[in-house]
Structure 1
Amino acid sequence: MKRILVAPLNWGLGHATRSIPIINALIANNFEPVIASDGEALKLLKKEFPQLQALELPSYNITYSKKANSFKLKLIKDSPSLLKTINREKKVTESLIKSENISGIISDNRFGVRDKNIPSAFVTHQLRVLSGSTTWLSSKFHQKIINKFDECWVPDHRDAKNLSGDLGHIEGYESSIKYLGPLSRFEKQDLNKKYDLLVVLSGPEPQRSFLEVKLLDELQSYDGKICFVKGLIENEQRKTQINHITTYNFMASKELEKALNESDLILSRSGYTSIMDYAKLEKKAFLIPTPGQFEQEYLAKKFEEELVAPSCKQKDFKIEMLNEIENYSGFEDLQYDLNYKKLFNLF
């Protein structure tokens, strides 16, 4: 079997979780996936696929500033270190290809995981990278990276009715883009309701912790049963029950799939992978974008304007705002059958 290196970025859990259906498809099509990442993303995939080889890559060490408006400045300040990490990543990848007999690469937003001697695909929903007044520059930089790969796989619909909007659709920019349709590790199930509200947290610190503290305080007065998943990937799962709130440090895919299907409403970040999951499960949600992250702010605004899901800034959230959800349609599953066999012809 050909061995395919699957390398998602460790920035929140979204890049790792949307790699899960790709890894399962590789196995189903007689390839042997080799997982490569770092931090929480690597921990999560090792729990999901204990039978697969998992390798550690250099960490980008992406963290948020405590103040939302400082995030872009922090990224600019950290860029020399980031470029050094990408160069180290390229050297590690070159070494792994030889030592692990790798025949192909699927990189989800890891810039240095590529090699000109073997076929490689870059997975991203951001052909346009929003960064305020410097969007043109960040987008050009990202497109330059994308062009170094043989193919660019965009997890969204090609048509006007899509999930990523301006992020994943640029007029006149073709490159070697293949639209995969939305990727989700979940399936919709007809289960009895267990929770009135499911809270799903993820994303880099310290903003994840800031939101956790705020929500746990606000939700004390919520009239209904709550399941609260913190998104902390630890060695053992911990569950606590205090009054109407059941808290978990993390859930594996099957457990989270069940909780999502058993919940009436969702409260979470507006990360793109979460959006794809809610569309697959046709859920109603309230979205709180990570402060300073232009992409999540854009997606939250897009779905609010389309009357799909309400949203607000993290600092402004109040428990009464959840009542707004009933005025929105919720997410819709636009059916799309991805031919993985054809997609994997690259290898």
Structure 2
Amino acid sequence: MKKRILVAPLNWGLGHATRCIPIINALMQEGFVPVIVSDGAALTLLRKEFPNLSSIQLPPYDVNYAKKGKNFRLKLLKDAPKILKAIKAEKKSIDAILEHNDIAGIISDNRLGVRNKYVPSVFITHQLNVLSGNTTWLSTKMHQEIIKKYNECWVPDVEGDVNLSGRLGHLTTIDIPTKYIGPLSRFNKTNSEIKNDLMVLISGPEPQRTMLEEKLLKELKSFSGKVVFVKGVMEQEQTIQLMGNVTIYNFMTSSLLEKTINESALIISRSGYTTVMDLAKLNKKAFFIPTPGQFEQEYLANRLTEMQLVPSCNQDEFTIDKLNEVKHYLGLKSFDHEINYKELFSLF
């Protein structure tokens, strides 16, 4: 019997789900049988990517962003009881899954209740430090206390000074069993002919996703080049609309997304860490618009701008003219890092 491994990404934007794709592929290559457990858009995406794998729905966290970035922390605090209830419910769901299935291991990407003390459990995160302004010390301590309950923590970055996550994924002292597994991306770079002047790639929790979509579509009316616009809305069927020089998709599966990014000269996107890893793998020039109030994305955007790699600005300030700044920046580059999956999965 092949060993079955639960793979459970958080449904918070699509990044946690998409960076689990190379993990799921590697598990199958190493002779394991992945079982996908998640909810919402993350589960829908992975079911489309892996239609032949078993999947189980977990209770949703069901958290939305604040309409104003400055209210982000307050909204999270208000939603805390709902989040704690969801964590308790997903832990109960995992116990039930383990009771009725022979499971050899658990891989949780930021799902805080997906673990079991009798089954080897891994937590994937790039946030050993959880930035939250003047409460960073508290949010970091709380997150680390949760990570300590897992057998291992896998950080999708490299360990040295030259890295992608900066102080998010690097502590001066670590008392958590941590492995730096290298950046995770489902994509590969190809030497494709450039067919699109601009690609817009957005996702993430509402209402901020819709607010950015509406703003960008308005700004693009004065852009003369060829544009592909991916909303990041996971629905049962893919839809394609034409609006002048803009082709709009509700979503793309991995193969089409890889092809289209490779064929695009410039990417506008959020500065989520998974997007940073993907665009670095494909050596792309980009412009980042961090989600308002999300300290992690603001930190990554500011860091990459200061390193002269990718220009960025906040959502309210963006105009199409800001894309002229891109020529003064180097763009993202990939790390030459091979993940030893056989060694990584030896825990199971």
Bucket of the pairwise TM-score, normalised by the shorter protein: over 0.9
C-alpha separation between the residues in 2 aligned to 1:129 and 1:61?
20
Q: Give the 4+ runs in structure 1 shifted more than 6 A.
A: none
C-alpha separation between the residues in 2 aligned to 1:15 and 1:179?
17
The one-character-per-residue Cα deviations of 1:142-174 (angstroms, maximum 9, x if unpaired) are 000000000000000101000000000010124
- State the shift of 1:6 in Å: 0.1
Give the 5 Å matches for 1:138-149. 138-149=139-150
1:23 maps to 24
C-alpha separation between the residues in 2 aligned to 1:134 and 1:298?
15
C-alpha separation between the residues in 2 aligned to 1:115 and 1:199?
40
The one-character-per-residue Cα deviations of 1:209-230 (angstroms, maximum 9, x if unpaired) are 0000000000111121000000
C-alpha separation between the residues in 1 aligned to 2:149 and 2:21?
24
The one-character-per-residue Cα deviations of 1:205-257 (angstroms, maximum 9, x if unpaired) are 00000000000000111121000000011111111112110110100000000
Give the 5 Å matches for 1:9-48. 9-48=10-49
Does the alignment pair 1:250 with 2:251? yes
1:73 maps to 74
Aligned residues of 1:114 and 1:120 also touching (Cα < 8 A): yes
C-alpha separation between the residues in 2 aligned to 1:256 and 1:220?
23
Identity of aligned residues (%): 59
C-alpha separation between the residues in 1 aligned to 2:149 and 2:200?
38
1:49 maps to 50
- State the shift of 1:100 in Å: 2.1
2:335 maps to 334
1:220 maps to 221
One-letter amino acid of the counterpart of residue 168, structure 2: L
1:324 maps to 325
- State the shift of 1:80 in Å: 1.5
C-alpha separation between the residues in 2 aligned to 1:55 and 1:135?
34
- State the shift of 1:113 in Å: 0.4
One-letter amino acid of the counterpart of residue 23, structure 2: I
The one-character-per-residue Cα deviations of 1:37-64 (angstroms, maximum 9, x if unpaired) are 0000000000000000010001111210
C-alpha separation between the residues in 1 aligned to 2:74 and 2:194?
44
TM-score normalized by structure 1? Answer: 0.99
- State the shift of 1:67 in Å: 1.3
Give SS of 2:89's match. Answer: helix
- State the shift of 1:85 in Å: 1.2
Gaps of 5+ in 2: none
1:164 maps to 165
One-letter amino acid of the counterpart of residue 91, structure 1: K
Give SS of 2:166's match. Answer: coil
C-alpha separation between the residues in 1 aligned to 2:266 and 2:86?
40
2:115 maps to 114
1:303 maps to 304
Give SS of 1:16's match. Answer: helix
Aligned residues of 1:97 and 1:103 also touching (Cα < 8 A): no
1:293 maps to 294
- State the shift of 1:186 in Å: 0.1
C-alpha separation between the residues in 2 aligned to 1:331 and 1:212?
24
Does the alignment pair 1:192 with 2:193? yes
C-alpha separation between the residues in 2 aligned to 1:86 and 1:267?
33
Does the alignment pair 1:267 with 2:284? no
Bigger Cα displacement from structure 2, 227-236 vs 80-89: 80-89
Aligned residues of 1:14 and 1:271 also touching (Cα < 8 A): yes
- State the shift of 1:83 in Å: 1.0
2:137 maps to 136
**Paired positions, count:** 347
Aligned residues of 1:8 and 1:109 also touching (Cα < 8 A): yes
